[in-house]
């Protein structure tokens, strides 16, 4: 601890500077415009240098203009009544001014700002000392600057992008890129999912991923800012921040919500994703015409994955506050539907379910249903995304320590949901205080309900399950070997080609066998001629017949060896060996493996289960497999579970370069799958969910913690 920290902790708090009572003062350069919203005519206001957009009714805006820093609240109330004929009290005016003050709405001199900052620092220090800080790491601003000059320069160079002809060219390029990518849609979708799967990436790959993410984010936010400049507004804040540890960029486009109309706001929101789609379209055309394996080809494909399908789906989703959310608001004439619908649903539940005091907004029945549905869907989606980040942290931790992987995931979940958990406890406390007399009066039914809940937690309802990786291979396979030595003269089937039983696959050449065949054929013919002559001389017939039989036997042996030069398929199936044609011209010995053939009508999946998860899949009941690139899962029949640990197939588990991070022991579960349509291919990998026996819910909830303690403290 340094000297400054010692003084900060040890010295008593100095009293903050006194600030004489001053009345609110409206900023002389206030930015305000009238807009037609769903609620009627509203005035959108931004204080110069502020970050918040205020929506005021026309009477509220007229009231704001009366604050000059000299008039008291009573004088403002009296003047407002005289000008507008609306009766207001001094307390109502003061309450209204205080609510605006929370958003730094009022104008202050530098001296007043310094005094208020001192008060805020003293308040924050008091909260820190008493442990009252409640940050949940939802957002951390790291770096920001005023980009107005940069965006003005960029717009002056690129303003042709806002012309009709450029939009038409961009639309054509976009349609062309869709046509090019549609031919390889399954591959593109699978690669997009793999690209955003951070658990399979090393440190270098993570660095490249976030670098591409930041560069595309810069293009995205620059497009937002340039569109704001196109409609005559300014952009005074742009920067880099973290959302639950995930890097992101932002561009403050608040002024377009005041200066611009509805079309300007839609175009500003639309510009971000459209810019990435434009870039991806260009990269698609370049990728299509460049040879595979080149740096430019691979770079373009990376940009397509980074700014392609998933980016559009995530950004244009109307349930989280990204581009799609703001487009949804503008299209359906809402200002902030998430806040409005959540406020309505919470107030309705408080009033109608828990019978607590609440003011429910007056809405029609159709709007009530729509607001409730949106609030629920938005809540499920947003909390699902938060849990997704927790799951990612668990997956990353599981790679290094399956036993303790729950610890970083639990800490991240605590940071993310800390404030929400605190609000939930406050709500339960409020419900308890309000319903305490009722609880006392109905203690017996409540006790019965508690017993029912305990019984429900003890019933074996939920199945144990685990999720792992698998690799497919044919159940029936045949490895073709060279039965005799020779030179590979011809390969008649290549990788992936279907062959039938008895079909020739490889032909060998052996000069010794060829010579032996020719010699045996010649001797056999000579012996047959001598046998025909001996029939005319009975004394020599016996020796001629013996010699003919000997040479016929030699001929059959030579023919048998010659037949072994043609390697045929013993079963029907497809060729599994890659690059079989590379064998042409090579010399092989007897017993050398040549080609592997597999019958793909029935496949088996090898599933690798860490030792720590074997207890979760005891008494297996069902297996659900999702091969890479498949939209639906497939089911199979469990054939066997290895009695001993086995080596993991190559590429199925990421090996760490650190000696202290050892892989767990793996067991193999074999599952058999029908493949009548031939869609399953050998070597295909994917994810499998294995379901074991049913356990009580309370056991399922407590098992990770009890298991971790039992493994370390025994």
34-38, 39-43, 109-113, 534-538, range with the lowest pLDDT: 109-113
Query: Tell me, what's the pLDDT at 421?
Result: 83
**CA-based R_g, the chain, Å:** 38
Distance in angstroms (rounded) separating the CA atoms of residues 400 and 687: 19
Among the ranges 163-172, 399-408, 555-564, which has the highest mean pLDDT value? 163-172
Distance in angstroms (rounded) separating the CA atoms of residues 331 and 254: 18
> Which residues touch 223 (CB under 8 Å, ≥6 apart)?
271, 272, 274, 275
Residue 411 has pLDDT above 50, yes or no: yes
643-685: pLDDT as tens digits = 776 676 655 655 433 333 455 677 888 888 887 777 788 888 8
- Give me the residue label for tokens 């159940």: 475
Element (H, E) at 534: helix 511-534
Residue 590 has pLDDT above 70, yes or no: yes
> Which residues touch 712 (CB under 8 Å, ≥6 apart)?
403
Closest C-alpha among 451, 188, 474 to residue 304: 188
128-139: pLDDT as tens digits = 444 444 444 555
Residue 707 has pLDDT above 70, yes or no: no
Confidence band, pLDDT 50/70/90 cuts, at residue 538: low
Length of the chain in terms of residues written: 714
Token digits of residue 417 = 């949901």
Sign of the C-alpha dihedral computed for residues 533, 539, 541 and 543 taken in this order: negative
Among the ranges 96-110, 295-309, 372-386, which has the highest mean pLDDT value? 372-386
Task: Measure Cα distances from 293 to 206, 212, 299, 300, 651 in Å.
Answer: 21, 20, 10, 12, 21
For the residues of 538-549, what is the DSSP string, one character each? GGGHHHHHHHHH
- Between 279 and 20, name the one with better pLDDT: 279
Query: Tell me, what's the pLDDT at 3?
Result: 32
User: Which pTM was predicted?
Assistant: 0.57
Q: What are phi and psi of 679, to 5 degrees?
A: -75, -30
Residue 385 has pLDDT above 70, yes or no: yes
Distance in angstroms (rounded) separating the CA atoms of residues 421 and 151: 42
Query: Tell me, what's the pLDDT at 242?
Result: 67
- Between 421 and 116, name the one with better pLDDT: 421
pLDDT, mean of residues 109-127: 51
CA 580 to chain centre: 38
Helix, strand or coil, per DSSP, at residue 153: helix
Task: Measure Cα distances from 51 to 45, 141, 255, 563 in Å.
Answer: 11, 13, 10, 86
Strand order in the sheet with 566-568: 566-568, 504-509, 486-491, 587-588
Percent of the chain with pLDDT over 70: 77
Query: Tell me, what's the pLDDT at 616?
Result: 65
Query: Tell me, what's the pLDDT at 126?
Result: 45
Cβ atoms of residues 626 and 687 within 8 Å: yes
Token digits of residue 453 = 């809940």
Token digits of residue 475 = 């159940």
Task: Measure Cα distances from 104 to 51, 64, 138, 251 in Å.
Answer: 9, 14, 22, 20
Helices 262-289 and 203-230 pack at an angle, to 10 degrees, of 140
Residue 701 has pLDDT above 80, yes or no: no
Cβ atoms of residues 144 and 215 within 8 Å: no
Q: What's the per-residue H, E or C state across 200-243?
A: HCCHHHHHHHHHHHHHHHHHHHHHHHHHHHHCCCCCCCEEEEEE
Token digits of residue 278 = 């434009």
Token digits of residue 380 = 């499920």
Residue 177 has pLDDT above 70, yes or no: yes
- Give me the residue label for tokens 């006194």: 18
Closest C-alpha among 702, 693, 699 to residue 457: 699
pLDDT, mean of residues 407-434: 82
Cβ atoms of residues 226 and 158 within 8 Å: yes
Query: Tell me, what's the pLDDT at 13?
Result: 44
476-480, 562-566, 569-573, 582-586, range with the lowest pLDDT: 562-566
Closest C-alpha among 644, 643, 621, 625 to residue 635: 625
pLDDT, mean of residues 172-183: 84
Distance in angstroms (rounded) separating the CA atoms of residues 154 and 218: 13
Query: Tell me, what's the pLDDT at 658?
Result: 33
- Give me the residue label for tokens 């993991």: 648
Residue 80: exposure state from Cβ atoms within 10 A (0-12, 13-18, ≥19) = buried
Query: Tell me, what's the pLDDT at 2?
Result: 37
Q: What's the per-residue H, E or C state across 562-631?
A: HHCCEEECCCCEEECCCCHHHHCCCEECCCCEEEEEEEEEEEEEEEEEEHHHHHHHCCCCEEEEEECCCC
Query: Tell me, what's the pLDDT at 257?
Result: 79
Confidence band, pLDDT 50/70/90 cuts, at residue 12: very low
298-345: pLDDT as tens digits = 888 888 887 766 677 777 788 877 788 888 888 888 878 888 888 888
Helices 148-158 and 203-230 pack at an angle, to 10 degrees, of 80
**Rounded to the nearest 10 degrees, how much is the dihedral formed by the CA atoms of 99, 104, 105, 106?**
100
pLDDT, mean of residues 686-702: 76
Percent of the chain with pLDDT over 90: 0
pLDDT, mean of residues 528-541: 61
Task: Measure Cα distances from 657 to 203, 392, 586, 661, 662 in Å.
Answer: 11, 21, 38, 8, 9
pLDDT, mean of residues 538-542: 59
- Between 453 and 202, name the one with better pLDDT: 453
Distance in angstroms (rounded) separating the CA atoms of residues 254 and 148: 13
211-249 CB burial, b ≥16 within 10 A, e <16: ebbeebbeebbbbbbbbbbbbebbbbbbbbeeebeeeeb
Query: Tell me, what's the pLDDT at 640?
Result: 78
Distance in angstroms (rounded) separating the CA atoms of residues 105 and 114: 16
Kind of pairing between the strands at 498-499 and 573-575: antiparallel
DSSP state of 143: E
Q: What are phi and psi of 691, to 5 degrees?
A: -110, 130
**Average pLDDT along the chain:** 76
pLDDT, mean of residues 685-713: 70
DSSP state of 320: S
- Between 392 and 222, name the one with better pLDDT: 222
Task: Measure Cα distances from 315 to 270, 322, 328, 617 in Å.
Answer: 10, 6, 12, 38
Element (H, E) at 467: strand 460-481
Task: Measure Cα distances from 129 to 55, 120, 122, 362 in Å.
Answer: 37, 14, 11, 44
Confidence band, pLDDT 50/70/90 cuts, at residue 19: very low
Distance in angstroms (rounded) separating the CA atoms of residues 551 and 563: 18
Distance in angstroms (rounded) separating the CA atoms of residues 598 and 615: 34
pLDDT, mean of residues 278-283: 86
Residue 53: exposure state from Cβ atoms within 10 A (0-12, 13-18, ≥19) = middle
- Between 489 and 110, name the one with better pLDDT: 489
- Between 611 and 64, name the one with better pLDDT: 64
Distance in angstroms (rounded) separating the CA atoms of residues 226 and 218: 12
At residue 318's C-alpha, the angle toward residues 317 and 323, to 5°, is 75
Residue 15 has pLDDT above 60, yes or no: no
Sign of the C-alpha dihedral computed for residues 55, 59, 60 and 64 taken in this order: positive
At residue 445's C-alpha, the angle toward residues 444 and 449, to 5°, is 120
Query: Tell me, what's the pLDDT at 7?
Result: 31
Query: Tell me, what's the pLDDT at 202?
Result: 65
């Amino acid at each position: 601890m340094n000297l400054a920290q010692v003084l900060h902790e040890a010295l008593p708090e100095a009293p903050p500077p006194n600030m004489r009572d001053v009345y609110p003062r409206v900023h002389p350069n206030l930015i305000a415009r009238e807009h037609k919203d769903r609620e009627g005519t509203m005035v959108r206001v931004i204080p110069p240098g502020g970050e918040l957009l205020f929506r005021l009714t026309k009477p509220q805006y007229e009231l704001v203009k009366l604050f000059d820093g000299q008039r008291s609240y009573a004088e403002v109330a009296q003047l407002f009544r005289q000008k507008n004929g609306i009766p207001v009290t001094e307390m109502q005016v003061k309450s209204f001014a205080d609510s605006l003050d929370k958003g730094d709405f009022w104008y202050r001199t530098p001296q007043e700002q310094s005094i208020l900052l001192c008060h805020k620092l003293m308040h924050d220090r008091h909260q820190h000392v008493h442990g009252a800080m409640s940050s949940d790491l939802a957002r951390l601003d790291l770096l920001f600057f005023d980009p107005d000059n940069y965006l003005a320069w960029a717009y002056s160079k690129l303003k042709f992008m806002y012309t009709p002809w450029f939009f038409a060219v961009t639309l054509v390029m976009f349609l062309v890129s869709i046509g090019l990518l549609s031919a390889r849609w399954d591959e593109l979708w699978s690669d997009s999912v793999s690209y955003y799967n951070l658990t399979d990436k090393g440190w270098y790959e993570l660095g490249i991923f976030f670098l591409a993410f930041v560069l595309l984010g810069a293009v995205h936010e620059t497009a937002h800012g340039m569109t704001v400049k196109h409609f005559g507004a300014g952009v005074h804040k742009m920067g880099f921040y973290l959302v639950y540890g995930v890097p992101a960029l932002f561009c403050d486009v608040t002024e377009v919500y005041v200066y611009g109309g509805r079309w300007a706001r839609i175009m500003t929101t639309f510009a971000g994703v459209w810019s990435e789609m434009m870039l991806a379209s260009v990269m698609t055309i370049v990728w299509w015409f460049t040879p595979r394996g080149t740096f430019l080809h691979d770079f373009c494909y990376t940009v397509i994955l980074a700014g392609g399908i998933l980016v559009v789906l995530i950004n244009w989703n109307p349930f989280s506050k990204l581009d799609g959310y703001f487009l949804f608001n503008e299209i359906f004439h809402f200002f902030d539907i998430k806040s409005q619908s959540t406020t309505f649903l919470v107030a309705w539940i408080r009033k109608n379910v828990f019978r607590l005091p609440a003011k429910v907004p007056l809405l029609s029945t159709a709007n009530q249903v729509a607001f409730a549905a949106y609030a629920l869907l938005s809540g499920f989606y947003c909390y699902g995304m938060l849990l997704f980040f927790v799951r990612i942290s668990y997956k990353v931790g599981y790679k290094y320590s399956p036993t303790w992987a729950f610890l970083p995931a639990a800490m991240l979940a605590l940071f993310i949901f800390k404030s929400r958990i605190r609000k939930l406890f406050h709500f339960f406390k409020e419900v308890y205080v309000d319903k305490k007399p009722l609880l006392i009066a109905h203690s017996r039914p409540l006790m019965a309900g508690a017993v029912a809940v305990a019984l429900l937690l003890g019933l074996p309802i939920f199945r144990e399950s685990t999720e792992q990786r698998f690799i497919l291979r044919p159940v029936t396979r045949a490895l073709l070997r060279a039965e005799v030595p020779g030179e590979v003269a011809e390969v008649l089937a290549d990788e992936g080609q279907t062959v039938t039983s008895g079909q020739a696959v490889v032909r060998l050449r052996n000069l010794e066998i060829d010579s032996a065949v020719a010699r045996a054929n010649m001797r056999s013919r000579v012996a047959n001629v001598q046998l025909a002559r001996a029939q005319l001389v009975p004394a020599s017939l016996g020796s001629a017949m013996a010699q003919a039989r000997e040479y016929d036997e030699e001929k059959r042996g030579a023919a048998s060896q010659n037949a072994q030069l043609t390697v045929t398929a013993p079963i029907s199936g497809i060729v599994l060996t890659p690059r079989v044609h590379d064998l042409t011209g090579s010399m092989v010995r007897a017993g050398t493996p040549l080609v592997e053939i597999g019958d793909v009508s029935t496949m088996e999946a090898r599933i690798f289960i860490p030792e720590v998860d074997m207890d979760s899949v005891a008494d297996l009941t069902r297996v659900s497999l999702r091969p890479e690139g498949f939209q639906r899962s497939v089911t199979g029949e469990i054939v066997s579970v290895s009695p001993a640990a086995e080596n993991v197939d190559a590429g199925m588990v990421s090996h760490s370069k650190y000696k202290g991070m050892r892989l767990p022991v793996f067991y193999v579960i074999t599952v058999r799958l029908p493949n009548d349509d031939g869609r399953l291919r050998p070597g295909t990998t994917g994810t499998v969910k294995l379901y074991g026996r049913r356990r009580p819910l309370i056991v399922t909830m407590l098992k990770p913690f009890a298991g971790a303690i039992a493994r370390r403290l025994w």
